[in-house]
Structure 1
Amino acid sequence: MEFSLQRLRMLRELDRRGTVTAAAGALHYTASAVSQQLAQLERDVGAKLFERLGRRVQLTELGKLLTAHAEEILGAVERATLALEEAQESVTVRLTAGVWASVASGLLPRALTALAAEHPGIKVRTRELAPEETADAVRDGSLDFSFVIDYSDAPMPWDAGLERAVIAVERLHAAVPAGTVPAGSVSLLELAEHPWILASPKSHFGRAMRIACQRHGFEPKIDHEVEEQATAMAMVAAGLGVTLVSDLGLILRPPGVDTVALASPLMRTVSIAYRTTALRRPSMQLVIHAVRGAAAELGLATETTLP
């Protein structure tokens, strides 16, 4: 009997998530595609592996047995990949990375150009996800590594099964319509009466910014909820409100927006997250080195911890 690694991953995700829809979302497939592949896995095995209980799916005893072996098989594949990398004089590998907009536009092009020049055998593909989703995708194996964020006011909970390497420490700046704030710096409280443009509280960025405002003694009056810094700054340029933007986000700043330093600095740490089993992979260390080098060239601190 031959097993498809792809189908074993789907079975593992079904066990973890409890629904086909959730498993499909974690693996970036459609629910119908996952259903078809799981049905084919049952045909391959010749036995029922799961049963539906309302909206959820429960594995049968045989399904649980196969899932336990799937963990061992997929772990063995990862260990074999590591062994092959360590045995090669030059590294040849394809990696998939989770990114978000400001990293993809402000940091990654420089890093991947340098990586390609020095180590052409390492090919990095990217997938844009919300920052709060990327770590889960690494843990589940659908990404090899991802960029993650911690804010000084709202650090993210961390998965003990993942490692992280700090890449850059960014400052957050006030982004205001041109000429609105003539001073060289401004406190958050001084911006309290302005309309705000922020990401939704469901996002890590949106929550962290609300916490920062609350810590400075006010609730921001949010007129517009948008997720991307580029979109928020475009609305700032139109005079619709103020927002906060990171160092990497400044590359996306349109005309008509002033960026002003915050009197009480807000910081965020950008890291690369990867599975603990990938710690020894030469390709991972080379990627981290290239991205840190790109961050340093942009003038970003690469080792400072959050205040």
Structure 2
Amino acid sequence: MDLSLHRLRMLRELHRRGTVTAAASSLHYTASAVSQQLAQLERDVGARLFERIGRRVQLTELGTLLAEHAEEILGAVERASMALEEAQEAITVRLTTGVFATVAAGLLPKAMDTLAGRHPGIQLRTKQLAPEATAVAVRDGELDLAFVIDYADAPMPWDSSLLGSQIAVERLHVAAPAGTLGSGPVDLADLADQPWILSGPKSHFGTAVRAACLRNGFDLRITHEVEEQSTAMSMVAAGLGVTLVSDLGLQLRPPGMDALALTAPITRTVSIVYRSTALRRPALNLIIDVVRSTAAEIGLSAVGR
């Protein structure tokens, strides 16, 4: 019996997520393509692995058994890859990291340039996801590592199978139309009557800012809901309201906008998250070291300020 790792990975995702559509979405294939590959896996095995119940596909007992072994097989393949990587004097590996917008624009370009110079055998590919989705993608094996952010006002839950290495601590700054709030610093409570530009309440950033404002005794009056800090800053520069922006976000600051310190600083940590099984992976440690040193070079502290 010749079992394809590619098809086993699809079976594992179906077992984890419950539907072909959800499995296809996580693997970035069409549902039709996944269905075809699963049907081929069934032919490879020579036994029924799936049964239809209405419009859903459900694993049979044999299908569940194979899916459980698929977890072990794919885990063993990952461990074997890491062992080979450790044994090589010159590391040659391709990894995929999850990023969010401000890291992708403000930190990663310089870090990748340094990485290419120091360790040319490490190829780092990127995939942008919402910050709240990156850790899940690492846990599920869609990414090798990912950047995550955490706020004191909105702690991120951690999966026990994941580990994290802190890269830097960012401060949040008040972004206001030029000349409207003086030179700062600004008390967050003094912004209670301002029109706000902010991401939605389901985003990690939006949740954290809302929580910080409530802690300071007011609820936001949001007039524009946008997801990216760069978009919010452009709207601030046009005089449409105020927002909070991180250190990395300020590297994209447009003309016509002031960035002012808060009297009571609000900070967030930037970390790289990875599966606990990858702890000894040399390439991962080299990437973390390069990113952390790059963050320090651009003025981000590695500890709270």
Same fold (TM over 0.5): yes
- 1:19·1:55 contact (CA, 8 Å) conserved in 2? no
- The aligned residue for residue 297 of structure 1 is 297
Tell me whether 1:25 sits opposite 2:30 in the alignment. no
Distance 1:283 1:218, change over 3 A: same
Distance 1:227 1:52, change over 3 A: farther
Q: Which residues in structure 2 correspond to 1:123-202 (within 5 Å)?
A: 123-202=123-202
- The aligned residue for residue 92 of structure 1 is 92
**Quick one: distance in 1 between partners of 2:98 and 2:168?**
16
**Quick one: distance in 2 between partners of 1:146 and 1:184?**
34
Residue 261 of structure 2 aligns with an amino acid whose one-letter code is: A
Q: Deviations over 1:190-233 (max 9, x none)?
A: 11111111101111111111111111111101111111000111
**Quick one: distance in 1 between partners of 2:203 and 2:12?**
27
**Quick one: distance in 1 between partners of 2:226 and 2:54?**
35
Normalising by the residue count of structure 2, what TM-score does the alignment of the two structures yield?
0.97
- The aligned residue for residue 72 of structure 1 is 72
| CA shift for structure 1 position 183 | 3.4
- The aligned residue for residue 255 of structure 2 is 255
Q: Deviations over 1:16-61 (max 9, x none)?
A: 1111222222222232222222222222222222234345442110
Distance 1:56 1:198, change over 3 A: farther
- 1:14·1:57 contact (CA, 8 Å) conserved in 2? no
Normalising by the residue count of structure 1, what TM-score does the alignment of the two structures yield?
0.96
**Quick one: distance in 2 between partners of 1:55 and 1:147?**
37
- The aligned residue for residue 218 of structure 1 is 218
- The aligned residue for residue 233 of structure 1 is 233
Q: Deviations over 1:138-184 (max 9, x none)?
A: 11111100001101211100001011000110000111111111032
- Answer with 253-262 or 44-53: which moved more: 44-53
- The aligned residue for residue 287 of structure 2 is 287
**Quick one: distance in 2 between partners of 1:237 and 1:83?**
52
**Quick one: distance in 1 between partners of 2:217 and 2:58?**
48
Return structure 1 stretches of 4+ with deviation > 4 angstroms: none
**Quick one: distance in 2 between partners of 1:169 and 1:301?**
6
- The aligned residue for residue 101 of structure 1 is 101
**Quick one: distance in 2 between partners of 1:187 and 1:58?**
56
| CA shift for structure 1 position 69 | 1.0
Aligned partner of residue 262 in structure 1, secondary structure: coil
Q: Which residues in structure 2 correspond to 1:56-67 (within 5 Å)?
A: 56-67=56-67
**Quick one: distance in 1 between partners of 2:252 and 2:134?**
22
CA RMSD, 1 decimal: 1.3
| CA shift for structure 1 position 96 | 0.5
Aligned partner of residue 24 in structure 2, secondary structure: helix
| CA shift for structure 1 position 4 | 1.7
Gaps of 5+ in 1: none
Gaps of 5+ in 2: none
Percent of matched pairs sharing the same residue: 71
Aligned partner of residue 201 in structure 2, secondary structure: coil
